[in-house]
Structure 1
Amino acid sequence: MWQLTDAFTFNEEIRPLPEPRPGEVVVHPTAVGICGTDLHAWRGRLDRLPIVPTHDGIGIVTNVGPRADPALRGARVVIDPVDQCGTCASCRAGHPGVCLVGGYLGMTVDGLLAERVALPAARVVPVPPSVGDDAATVLEPVAIGFRIRAEIAARRITPGTALLIGGGPLGLLIGQLLAHDGWLVTIEEPSAERRARAHNLGLAASAPGEHSGWRATLVVDTSAVEPGTRAALAAAVPGALVILLGRSPADVPAGDILLREIDLLGIRGGAGHYADALAAVANGTLDPASLVDEMHEINDLGDLEKAFSSHDRPIPPLRSVLHLP
């Protein structure tokens, strides 16, 4: 397994291969994606180091424990990165993404850059043959999109104008899903290259500051930076739903939120929505593989550091996939 021990520093560590406990399976990760959380870890900005990064990936089930479905052995599966106990107050209230007992792969517990990973069988979802490995490594943004769809449905919000702050994989895939549901979507993104990607996907896109004032009944901030969060709140009409997807350092203007009756919601992940996400990819509603700019064959530490370093270039890849041995 490979772990980040410090900023820009990987180390290879040999550990015994895990054995599945009752209800668990062991997965051999074959491909993983590099997402924003992994880059925070790479740059030394994660709360926990050392850590084995990555959580968005696909693998093969190599071993099945007692009380797990034996038919899973040999299956291609994606992994829901959130460990959910199912019994704590958060899980019982329908918020498994913030389970009080479990962890989050690659963020609070070791992730998928390992030869084998033991997981509860309930957290692996078989992948249809029509979904390729690269698409399966960009599935978390789609699962989060379905979580957002569920929150919209629970509030009985009628599709209207939606603004997404940030034109990375999260913004582009969630934007496409919202557009499919009838929302008028605009991506706000400083990069001209990423705005062009949005246009190619049929989404409107604008640069920060190009528009001003209240203009959206749904705002999703994927930026995880203070200017993005401020722009999200500034664009929300009174009564709007504003969703934060990144750990922005911005101070939230509580008084303004109160006076405009803004519904402010933080979403940590797409726990429980991976089957929905796979179905949307399998039926052609979304094509996350189209956002993969680079693929890296990983055989040693040098390959790994080269792949992560590619995201430090002036124009980084939108998404990278690591093919593991």
Structure 2
Amino acid sequence: MKSVVIERPGSLTIETRPLPQPAAGEVRVKVQYASICGSDVHIWHGHNPFARYPRVIGHEFFGRIDAVGEGIDSRRIGERVAVDPVVSCGHCYPCSVGRPNVCSELQVIGVHRDGGFSEYALAPADNAWPLPESIPDTLASLVEPFTIAANITAFLQPTANDIALIYGAGPMGLTAIQVLKGVYGVQQVIVVDRLPERLALAQQNGADRMIDNSQLPLDAQLDGIKPTLIIDAACHPSILAEAVALASPAARIGLLGFSGEPCTLTQQSLTSKELSLFTSRLNSKRFPQVIGWIEQGLLQPEKLVTHTFALSEIEQAMTLFEKQPRHCCKVILKVD
């Protein structure tokens, strides 16, 4: 089988590898479509602190089960499935309180174990979620990105009356817009970014107001508005302090980033407004929720897709995703 392998940082190749055999409790997925995430690019360049090399990358993927391991019902063969990349132990403290995404022994498919940029991939059977026919093959790999928005909004508990501010109109920010508008009915969603093309995408995905802060600071453009819900989907270390300063008293702030750089906050800035600060990593079994939302028509994943490439064109696709943020959002890889 053909697999995209990062042998070491900076080395991206397509290798011919033996067909993997599912172990007990696993299924093998014949991958049909996958999509590129920023973390795939970070693994390629050696900027993902969690990656283990060599690695077959790709954690957003879809296909059909074509083989099962011991203990798995053979009737699952042929199922159309989207794969949750979060693999947890099931017995540590985080798992016991419903937070398998921060399991003490966490493994992520495509990061710690081989992923879906391959003709075949292995996954625990419980991580392979059947899809209704109403979700087309070409969009099915996008279930996973929407679970990121589902996870942070589960903490933030949006309401229709919230004034929401989203930093960043990249893929994470766009999925957050769709979830806030389509699922929770938030009536005012403001998005800030420095690229006009990304702000245009934000509008297409349902944002009510778009702000370009490349020249004029955000606080000077909000006209005194105090957001009650803020999502940082841009992940620059300077954002948190600004978000805290701009937030309404009693606001909720959600962080999606992994910056290792420090930021400066005072306890007073948080406590004086009694702000709630939430962090979110990956997803904690949100696949059924997101699949249901898409099936109900509450989300439109097609609005994220700007390009499609064959798996054999992976380097071109990854380079476009990285270098052309003005014109590129989600890139779909056709595998079979």
2:57 to 37, 42, 53: 53
2:316 to 278, 291, 306: 306
| Cα pair distance change 1:261/1:5, threshold 3 Å | farther
| Cα pair distance change 1:139/1:122, threshold 3 Å | same
Structure 2 distance, partners of 1:7, 1:214, is: 44
Aligned letter for 1:310? Answer: L
Aligned letter for 2:254? Answer: I
Aligned residues: 320
1:1-325 equivalent positions in 2, closer than 5 A: 1-47=3-49, 48=51, 49-153=53-157, 159-180=161-182, 181-183=184-186, 184-203=188-207, 204-208=209-213, 209-210=217-218, 211=221, 215-248=226-259, 249-255=261-267, 256-299=269-312, 303-311=313-321, 312-313=323-324, 315-325=326-336
Greater shift in the superposed pair: 59-68 or 257-266: 257-266
Would you say the 8 A contact 2:26–2:69 is kept in 1? Answer: yes
Cα deviation for residue 130 of structure 1 reads: 1.4
Structure 1 distance, partners of 2:45, 2:32, is: 24
| Gapped regions of structure 2 (runs ≥ 5) | none
Please tell me the root mean square deviation across aligned C-alpha atoms, in Å: 2.2
What is the TM-score with the length of structure 2 in the denominator? 0.87
Aligned letter for 1:283? Answer: Q
**Equivalent residue of 1:129, what SS?**
coil
Aligned letter for 2:185? Answer: G
Structure 1 distance, partners of 2:254, 2:331, is: 26
Cα deviation for residue 214 of structure 1 reads: 6.8
What is the TM-score with the length of structure 1 in the denominator? 0.90
Would you say the 8 A contact 1:55–1:112 is kept in 2? Answer: yes
**Equivalent residue of 1:293, what SS?**
strand
- Give the % identical residues: 30
1:113-134 per-residue CA deviation (whole Å, 9 max, x = no partner) reads 2232221111011111111123
Cα deviation for residue 230 of structure 1 reads: 3.9
Would you say the 8 A contact 1:22–1:66 is kept in 2? Answer: yes
Structure 1 distance, partners of 2:55, 2:100, is: 22
Aligned letter for 2:168? Answer: G
1:244-263 per-residue CA deviation (whole Å, 9 max, x = no partner) reads 11212342515233443322
**Equivalent residue of 2:55, what SS?**
coil
